[in-house]
Amino acid sequence: MERAGLMFSSRVLTNTLPVVLGILGAVIANLPISILGGQVPAPLLALMPIYLWCLVRPDLMSPAWAFLIGVLEDILSNSPPGVWGASFVLTYALIDRQRDAFAGLSGFGAILGFATSALVACATAYGIVTVYYWHFSPIAPIMSLLAMTVIFYVPVAAILSFVHRKLVGPLRSDF
């Protein structure tokens, strides 16, 4: 009986960890703390778990979870409603359709693959905000957001890969 409880708890951990890391990314990115005095925007830390787990375990990161993480990003970042939710879902759709191409990338190519996904998310958000306010906003803020997101991807991807190898991957088997 104790083994059944352990198996259940490990399955719950496996199934919730990617989503929890996406939520944690949204919360951390939107903390009112700035190391650089607000000169650059906080990266889209919530997009990184969506990207990784959409590639390696789409069963654990569904479009619904991507949407909910995006809505949380909207709420915490004070964006117009649905901007990041729609952006993350559209980015998820791109990743899902091109999974074989993205999953086969390594090294610098993997960074470019993520940069492409981040570009889609940022361009979608820019387009939605343009329609929402009925005028073109300055492009520099969204471009700096894209740059910060891609720069922070390398260290965050290392952490997410470690979590995947040590926690999610070993607990993957069906009991």
| Extents of the domains making up the chain | 2-168
- Assess if CATH 3.40.50 describes domain 2-168: no
The pair of structure tokens assigned to 88 is: 């993350």
C-alpha span between 66 and 90 (Å, rounded):
9
Which are the contacts of 102, defined by CB distance < 8 A and separation ≥ 6?
A: 55, 95, 113, 117
Segments in the chain below pLDDT 50: 1-2, 4-6, 173-175
Amino acid at 43: P
Evaluate if pTM is beyond 0.75: yes
Specify the pLDDT at position 64. Answer: 96
Q: Is 33 helix (H, G, I), strand (E, B) or coil?
A: coil
Residue 159: how many other CB atoms lie within 10 Å: 12
| Closest among 149, 153, 123, 130 to 41, alpha carbons compared | 149
How does pLDDT run across 96-138, given as a tens digit for each residue?
999 999 888 888 999 999 999 999 999 999 999 999 999 999 9
